[in-house]
């Protein structure tokens, strides 16, 4: 977690949307996106708009080579702000409004590798957003879970599909149905977490800097091949890989 003076140094960070998302681009090509609504970093529409703007900025920045998604406060994110549902005629109507302002696909479609740095709670949409990143680094205090089913909802910020791709159907179904919160050791065993670190923010930044230093055409081709090939028949995936390999070599 960045110290207070780092989070709010105007010459380093740019506010995206309102005041709940910040962005900075380092000279090393690493874009940092910071959730800044502590302590729980609950997602509201302001934060969603800020994330959409931040991911668009990362996509369009000519020097961007990797992205780190991290958070201030005690927790990465405890999910969506359910109090906003109260102004809509129903939960599904509220969700339709939210889907029209969707930061999840812009994150997934970024052409650069993405790393999430987790600590504390990563629940609901918080976990779902991290699952749309390529790598996840977590602190020892991290707890993850998808509680939506117990609230009468489907995890629909990509959770049922992204978790399925990370850990497989047999491990996804129990987590979605029970809404169980699991600790970081079990999350790592399941493959939800790639690295456990005492300093997840710093570890994620170092990992992103390593990725940013690799040949950018090859990295972008690898990211695209792995994302697009997942779920394709093997023949089609091999054809796509061959095409991307030619693009990387040219």
Query: Which region among 68-72, 93-97, 209-213 has the lowest average model confidence (pLDDT)?
Result: 93-97
Per-residue pLDDT at 240: 75
Share of the chain above pLDDT 70, in %: 82
CA 220 to CA 110: how far, in whole Å?
9
Segment 146-155 shows an average pLDDT of 68
pLDDT score, position 84:
59
Judge whether residue 2 has pLDDT over 50: no
Rounded to two decimals, the pTM is: 0.86
Q: pLDDT value at position 155?
A: 59
Q: What are phi and psi of 133, to 5 degrees?
A: -85, 160
**Average of per-residue pLDDT across 173-190:** 91
Q: What is the mean pLDDT of the chain?
A: 84
Q: Is 139 exposed, middle or buried (0-12, 13-18, 19+ CB in 10 A)?
A: buried
Spatial distance between the Cα atoms of 141 and 129, rounded to a whole number of angstroms: 19
């Amino acid at each position: 977690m960045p110290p207070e003076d780092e989070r709010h140094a105007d010459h380093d960070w740019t506010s995206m949307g309102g005041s709940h998302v910040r962005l900075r681009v380092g000279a090393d090509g690493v874009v940092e996106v910071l959730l800044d609504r502590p302590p729980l970093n609950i997602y509201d529409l302001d934060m969603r708009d800020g994330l959409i703007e931040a991911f668009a900025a990362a996509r369009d920045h000519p020097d961007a080579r990797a992205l780190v998604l991290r958070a201030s406060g005690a927790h990465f994110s405890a999910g969506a702000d359910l109090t906003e549902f109260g102004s809509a005629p129903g939960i599904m109507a509220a969700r339709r409004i939210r889907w029209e302002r969707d930061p999840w696909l812009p994150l997934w479609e970024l052409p650069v590798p993405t790393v999430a740095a987790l600590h504390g709670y990563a629940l609901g949409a918080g976990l779902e957003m991290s699952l749309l990143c390529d790598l996840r680094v977590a602190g020892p205090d991290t707890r993850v879970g998808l509680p939506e089913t117990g609230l009468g909802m489907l995890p629909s910020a990509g959770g049922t599909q992204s978790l399925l791709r990370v850990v497989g159907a047999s491990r996804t179904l129990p987590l979605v149905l029970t809404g169980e919160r699991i600790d970081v050791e079990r999350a790592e065993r399941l493959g939800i977490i790639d690295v456990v670190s005492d300093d997840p923010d710093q570890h994620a930044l170092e990992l992103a800097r390593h990725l940013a230093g690799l040949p950018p055409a090859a990295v972008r081709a690898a990211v695209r091949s792995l994302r697009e090939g997942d779920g394709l028949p093997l023949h089609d995936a091999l054809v796509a890989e061959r095409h991307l390999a030619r693009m990387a070599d040219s």
